[in-house]
Amino acid sequence: MLTASCLTGWASGLWKSHNNLTMTTWRGVLDQRLQHQREQHLERSLTAFQSIDTTHIQKPGADRALINFSSNDYLGLRSHPELAAAIAESSRLPVAGAGAARLLSGNHPLHEQLELELAEFFSRDAAMLFSTGYVANLAVLQALGRRGDVIIQDRLCHASLIDGARLADSKLLRYRHLDTDHCQTLLEQPAGLQIVTTDGVFSMDGDLAPVTELAGLARSHEALLIVDDAHGIGVLGEQGLGLLEHAGLSQADVPLLLGTFGKSFGLAGAFVAGDQQLIDYLRNFARGWIYSTAPPLPLVAAQRRALQITVSEPERRHRLHQRISYFKQLAKQLQLPLLPSDTAIQPIQIGPSAVALDLQAKLETLGFYVAAIRPPTVPKGTARLRITLSSEHQQSDIDRLLMALAENIGQFSDAD
Ligand SMILES: Cc1ncc(COP(=O)(O)O)c(C=O)c1O
């Protein structure tokens, strides 16, 4: 029978059994953890949004749309009519799903065609599709890092690179953000295979990895350098090939490049492109690829189209860079505390999570959606508004957002 003390115990996660042993209940433990999350202002909850177009979203039933400054659709491809058309066209194929993993019967000529196009686009030997960027990082690092090996990462790498390194059997070492001297020190320690990984454009900060220096270090230590350029591809480089094009680095410098279709390409999915031996290796050992169903064909058709549009419509990238310069210039005039970023990611660091949430809510009442990013996505005490820009934002959208921020930011910071 449940007694009163038993019920109180239940809520705290502890429960005394009939023979007086203290036990935990799964529900109580989860309650405690969620309660802690709430108390720290770190609770996550979902809001549904309908997308009106690339830069406008609306809550179902709301009487007006919000200007969206929180998407990774940097080139506005999400609403490009040719992507929807590619999906519609391929829906005439007799099957929609791949039906199996690539190594079974799920390998369609469309998958291979896209991989060839990616290899050509990035001037790499070969490419390999993954279901998401998160899975790609898990799969690549798990496949490469074995006992006795070491994975060396920038401290601010994306969660998927951290989790991939945790999944590997190797040791994980992290260097201070952008600190190549620290990276060099870590490379001096003896290990089997040494793998250096970094975001190209840091996802929550918008700054660039020192890829030229890292490539030099990797070369001199015979280490393997992997760059996850999820937020650089489409945005940086004359042709939109990303940070490596911007820095003039080739496959010889960076043998493996990771990109996603979920950011500039406006879709979902991911790929790695690089050295043939590496791709052959991954096909044999990357469990997140081997044991997972191949991407559905309508998605692959749209991914191919998105890649072509990135080349054929460079004006989108040019417009995005105009927007970035305009944003930075006006934010500077208004004395807003920007981080050192020249990319589409322009965060405003706030500090306490509760204040960042309050500011997000205030901006929403003024017609803007800017998500507050809190730990553990960013380090403790560095909650921020992660503003992201798109080629499709109007200058007037930027004017209004920055004016709203300038009028409110002081009030919210003082309130803390
Ligand atoms: C640097 C980086 N890598 C990987 C990912 C994961 O990509 P995906 O959304 O395709 O899973 C993200 C997504 O936020 C990212 O920012």
Helices 297-312, 109-121: inter-axial angle, 10-degree rounding: 20
Q: Is residue 214 situated within a structural domain?
A: yes
Two tokens, residue 239: 């042709």
Q: Which atom of ligand 1 is nearest to 72's Cα?
A: 14
Q: Is the pLDDT of residue 128 over 80?
A: yes
Among 295, 312, 329, residue at a domain's last position: 312
Give the per-residue pLDDT at 92: 87
Q: Quote the mean pLDDT of the chain.
A: 93
Quick one: three-class SS letters along the chain?
Answer: CCCHHHHHHHHHCEEECCCCCEEECHHHHHHHHHHHHHHCCCCCCCCCCEEEECCEEECCCCCCCEEECCCCCCCCHHHCHHHHHHHHHHCCCCCCCCCCEHHHHHCCHHHHHHHHHHHHHCCCCEEEEECCHHHHHHHHHHHHCCCCCEEEEECCCCHHHHHHHHHCCCEEEEECCCCHHHHHHHHHCCCCCEEEEEECECCCCCCECCHHHHHHHHHHCCCEEEEECCCCCCCCCCCCCCHHHHHCCCCCCCCEEEEECCCCCCCCCEEEEECHHHHHHHHHHCHHHHCCECCCHHHHHHHHHHHHHHHHCHHHHHHHHHHHHHHHHHHHHCCCCECCCCCCEEEEEEECHHHHHHHHHHHHHCCEECCEECCCCCCCCCEEEEEECCCCCCHHHHHHHHHHHHHHHHHHHHHC
- Our answer on whether the CB atom of 132 is closer than 6 Å to any ligand 1 atom is yes
Which of 134, 140, 156, 163 to mutate for ligand 1's pocket (most ligand atoms within 8 Å of CB)?
134
Domain co-membership, 182 together with 322:
no
Q: Is the pLDDT of residue 9 over 80?
A: no
Give the per-residue pLDDT at 3: 45
204-228 b/e with 16+ CB inside 10 Å = b? bbbbbbbbeebbebbeebebbbbbb
Q: Which atom of ligand 1 is nearest to 229's Cα?
A: 1
Domain co-membership, 300 together with 367:
no
- Our answer on whether the CB atom of 197 is closer than 6 Å to any ligand 1 atom is no
Q: What is the CATH number of the domain that holds 303?
A: 3.40.640.10
Domain co-membership, 370 together with 274:
no
Q: Sign of the C-alpha dihedral, residues 16, 21, 27, 33?
A: positive
Q: Is residue 268 situated within a structural domain?
A: yes
Domain co-membership, 233 together with 163:
yes
CA of 226 to the centre of ligand 1 (A): 14
Q: Is the pLDDT of residue 381 over 70?
A: yes
Predicted confidence band of residue 14 (pLDDT cuts 50, 70, 90): low
Q: Is residue 265 situated within a structural domain?
A: yes
Domain co-membership, 218 together with 153:
yes
Domain co-membership, 253 together with 129:
yes
Q: Is residue 11 situated within a structural domain?
A: no
- Our answer on whether the CB atom of 260 is closer than 6 Å to any ligand 1 atom is yes
Domain co-membership, 370 together with 387:
yes
Work out the percent of the chain whose per-residue pLDDT is above 90. Answer: 88
Per the CB < 8 A criterion, the answer to whether 286 and 280 are in contact is no
Q: Looking at ligand 1, which residue's alpha carbon is closest to its atom 5?
A: 133
Radius of gyration of the chain (CA): 23
Domain co-membership, 170 together with 279:
yes
CA of 377 to the centre of ligand 1 (A): 12
Q: Sign of the C-alpha dihedral, residues 179, 181, 187, 190?
A: negative
- Our answer on whether the CB atom of 134 is closer than 6 Å to any ligand 1 atom is yes
Q: What is the mean pLDDT of residues 198-210?
A: 98
CA of 205 to the centre of ligand 1 (A): 14
Rounded Cα distance between 279 and 388, Å, is 33
Domain co-membership, 261 together with 366:
no
Task: Give residue 198's domain range.
Answer: 84-312
Among 269, 286, 312, residue at a domain's last position: 312
Query: 110: which strand partners?
Result: none
Q: What is the CATH number of the domain that holds 368?
A: 3.90.1150.10
- The long-range contacts involving 123-126, CB below 8 angstroms and separated by at least 24 positions, are 123/250, 123/251, 124/251, 124/257, 124/273, 124/274, 124/275, 125/251, 125/274, 125/275, 125/276, 125/279, 126/273, 126/274, 126/275, 126/276, 126/279
Give the per-residue pLDDT at 13: 54
Give the tens place of pLDDT for each residue, 106-120.
Answer: 999 999 999 999 999
Among 312, 327, 355, residue at a domain's last position: 312
Rounded Cα distance between 345 and 378, Å, is 14
Domain co-membership, 246 together with 320:
no
* Number of domains composing the chain: 2
Domain co-membership, 249 together with 368:
no
Q: Looking at ligand 1, which residue's alpha carbon is closest to its atom 4?
A: 133
pTM: 0.92
Per the CB < 8 A criterion, the answer to whether 15 and 22 are in contact is yes
CA of 261 to the centre of ligand 1 (A): 9
CA of 22 to the centre of ligand 1 (A): 42
Lowest mean pLDDT among 35-49, 228-242, 317-331: 35-49
Give the tens place of pLDDT for each residue, 46-84.
Answer: 999 999 898 999 999 999 999 999 999 999 999 999 999
- Which comes out higher in pLDDT, residue 90 or 174? 174
Q: Looking at ligand 1, which residue's alpha carbon is closest to its atom 8?
A: 133
Domain co-membership, 166 together with 296:
yes
Q: What is the mean pLDDT of residues 7-28?
A: 66
Q: Is residue 318 situated within a structural domain?
A: yes
Work out the percent of the chain whose per-residue pLDDT is above 70. Answer: 94
Cα angle 253-255-258, degrees, rounded to a multiple of 5:
115
